[in-house]
Amino acid sequence: MIYNLDPAITALKDGKIMLCPTDTVWGISCDATNAEAVDKIIALKNRDENKSFIVLVNSLDMLGLYVDEFPNFAVDIIEFSEQPITVIFPKGVKLAPGVINADGSVAIRWVKPQHEESKYCNALISKFRRPIVSTSANISGEPTPIFFNDIQPSIKDKVDFVVPYFQQNKISRKPSRIIKLNVDGTFKVIR
């Protein structure tokens, strides 16, 4: 399927926030390098400013641009994982402050084009040429909506743009696995 990415790209470039299908569930997204856009998501979700977000990239090359160190074993974990996996790297760089944890770490997921939603998301990031934020489409503390129709009107009405594709999809997807890389080369499974 061919998608018109231009409205979403324009929204991202203009610092807007949007609802976007990902390789997991629908998320609230924006340009991960735009501090003002990230602050809009924090306000919308009524989220603690000290809690960071997941960043989505479309390749290992893009991922490498936004982390200080990229150990070889992390490449293996990411490349060979059969399900979406978010890796918390010890030090993020060139990203909006609200995306990076207080300890300097950053959570990043490579969106592999495995199904239609992830193909759309991957193509969007590819054309945008920058990473995007993805966070669950809910107010902090409320349940994560799995399907578009589960997203509360209070969220839908307050974003600047809603991706028009996959809104009727009923294929259940789960949030990603999360692992944290430690400075000493070890890792811990978070989820």
How many domains does the chain divide into?
A: 1
- The pLDDT of residue 97 is above 90: yes
pLDDT digits 0-9 by tens, 16-48 = 999 999 999 999 999 999 999 999 999 999 988
Which residues 6+ apart lie within 8 Å of 51 measured at CB?
140
Nearest to 175 by CA among 159, 162, 191: 191
Structure token pair of residue 7:
């409205």
Residue 148 falls within a domain, yes or no? Answer: yes
The confidence score (pLDDT) of residue 171 equals 82
- Which residue has better confidence, 55 or 116? 55
Q: What percent of the chain has pLDDT over 70?
A: 100
Residue 110 near residue 66, CB atoms below 8 Å:
no
Tell me the two tokens of residue 85.
């996996």
Q: Can you give the residue range of the structural domain that contains 148?
A: 6-189
Between the CA of residue 98 and those of 10, 38, 80, 149, what are the distances in Å?
Answer: 22, 6, 29, 28
Q: How many CB atoms lie within 10 A of CB 164?
A: 10
Could you tell me the CATH number of the domain that includes residue 17? 3.90.870.10
Q: Give the mean model confidence (pLDDT) for residues 98-108.
A: 95
For residue 1, being part of any structural domain is answered with: no
Between 173 and 114, the more confident residue is 114
